[in-house]
Amino acid sequence: MNKQLAPIGIFDSGYGGLTVLKKIVEVLPAYDYLYLGDNARAPYGTRSFETVYRYTLDCVKWFFAQGCPLVILACNTASAKALRSIQQQDLASLAPSNRVLGVIRPTTEMIGTVTRSGKVGILATKGTVSSGSYPIEIEKFYPGLAVYQEACPMWVPLVENNEHAGPGADYFVKKHLDSILAKDHSIDTVLLACTHYPLLLEKIRQFLPDGIQVISQGEIVANSLFNYLQRHPEMEQRLSKTGSRSFCTTDDIADFEQHASLFYGTTIKAEKITLT
Ligand code: DGL
């Protein structure tokens, strides 16, 4: 590989970002991708701002040390709690020509185009909900849109423990869907604002009334990255294109490989890394 060129970094606290990576490689297959799941410190969704920021920054530094000029935080919690600080405070001293992008902005840019009632529900981790990032960002693009949020703290553990398709998941999926719809019965669009939630899609559809659309972020983020690379040739030219995919975790490799295939759709080989 040309030493000047490097893969796109894709980051999540654990496995969820693989649902985003899967869509990104469908849209942009030629590029090389380096995935990192910070499984040893996941979940992030219940942690404080300070902790999520510190953990995410460690991982961004690791990507930069691997040479990645562009890192996507394929994690809503990290995007909500760490992205702005990294972009505004850290990037200038770390690597001013590198870029770190998140998943919230591209999603909020399009959400107003798909709702007919003007009422949308955001399903997310506690951390993303308490950050207020979605209502704040949506207000910028679509003032007047009614945004209702629901924290679903059990959904990530259900997915992480491979219980998302089992009967135990029914109770918690229904509980949070009922709760968000009770906030306004004319919500016609719900956004899965956590990259783990697409694995619960079948159950979510099962417990939602007909006519309510469910939006996952993978495709939105992939299309947004496509557009970004078209608008930023200076970044595009720094990216390697041999079609390689590498997977790293901060925790046990065997667990990661077994679990990751659920999220990514095919078996993968992983490498364990240590963050300094
Ligand atoms: N996948 C992460 C997100 O999109 C949440 C998982 C976690 O809590 O670590 O918010």
DSSP notation for 160-208: HTT-TTSTHHHHHHHHHHHHHHHH-TT--EEEE-STTGGGGHHHHHHHS
Q: Which residue has the tokens 């719809």?
A: 181
- Exactly one of 59, 75, 152, 248 is catalytic; name it: 75
Task: Please check the confidence at residue 18 and state whether its pLDDT lies above 60.
Answer: yes
Per-residue pLDDT tens over the stretch 72-102: 999 999 999 999 999 999 999 999 999 999 9
Q: What is the pLDDT of residue 92?
A: 97
Element (DSSP H or E) covering residue 270: strand 270-272
- Distance separating alpha carbons of residues 162 and 202, to the nearest angstrom: 14
Q: What atom in ligand 1 is closest to the CA of residue 78?
A: 10
Centroid of chain to Cα 64: 19
CA of 37 to the centre of ligand 1 (A): 11
pLDDT of residue 161: 86
Share of the chain above pLDDT 90, in %: 96
- Return mean pLDDT, the chain: 96
> Of the CATH numbers 3.90.45.10, 3.40.50.1860, 3.40.50.1100, 3.40.630.10, which one belongs to the domain with range 8-102+219-272?
3.40.50.1860
Active-site residue, selected from the candidate residues 59, 68, 152, 194: 194
Q: Is the pLDDT of residue 184 over 80?
A: yes
Q: What was the pLDDT predicted at 192?
A: 98
Say whether 105-217 and 8-102+219-272 share the same fold: yes
Give the residue whose CA is nearest to atom 2 of ligand 1: 75
Which token pair is 33?
């991708």
Strand, helix or coil for residue 218: helix
Question: Can you tell me whether residue 150 is helix, strand or coil?
Answer: strand
Q: Which fold has domain 105-217?
A: Rossmann fold (3.40.50)
Is 68 designated active site? no
The domain spans of the chain are 8-102+219-272, 105-217
Quote the CA–CA distance of 27 and 221 in Å, as a whole number: 10
User: What pLDDT, in 10s, does the model give residues 198-209?
Assistant: 999 999 999 999
Task: Select from 44, 51, 249, 259 the residue to mutate for testing ligand 1; criterion: most ligand atoms less than 8 Å from CB.
Answer: 44
Q: Place 211 in a pLDDT band, splitting at 50, 70 and 90.
A: very high
**Residue 3 pLDDT exceeds 80:** no
228-240, pLDDT tens digit by residue? Answer: 999 999 999 999 9
CA of 102 to the centre of ligand 1 (A): 13
* Choice from 10, 11, 12, 221 to test ligand 1 binding pocket (greatest atom count within 8 A of CB): 12
Ligand 1 atom 8, closest CA: 45
Flag whether pLDDT at 162 surpasses 90: no
Q: Helices (H) and strands (E) in the chain — how many of each?
A: 14, 10
Q: How many residues does the chain have?
A: 276
Contacts of 54 (CB under 8 A, 6+ apart): none
Centre of ligand 1 to C-alpha 49, Å, is 13
Instruction: Name the percent of the chain in helix, strand, coil, to the closest 5.
Output: 50, 15, 35
Task: Check whether 1 has a pLDDT greater than 70.
Answer: no
pLDDT digits (tens, 9 = 90+) for 112-160: 999 999 999 999 999 999 999 999 999 999 999 999 999 999 999 999 8
Taking residues 43-52, what's their average pLDDT? Answer: 94
CB 119 within 8 A of CB 212: no
Ligand 1 residue neighbourhood (C-beta within 6 Å) = 12-14, 16, 42-45, 75-77, 125, 128, 156, 194-196
Mutational test site, ligand 1, from 75, 83, 220, 221, max ligand atoms within 8 Å of CB: 75
Instruction: Assess whether 59 carries a catalytic annotation.
Output: no
Residue 275 sits at the vertex; the CA angle it makes with 9 and 49, to the nearest 5 degrees, is: 80
Q: How much is the pLDDT for 2?
A: 45
Confidence of residue 276 (pLDDT cuts 50, 70, 90): confident
> Is the pLDDT confidence value at 4 over 90?
no
Please tell me the predicted confidence (pLDDT) of residue 228. Answer: 98
Expressed in angstroms and rounded, the spacing between residue 19 Cα and the centre of ligand 1 is 12
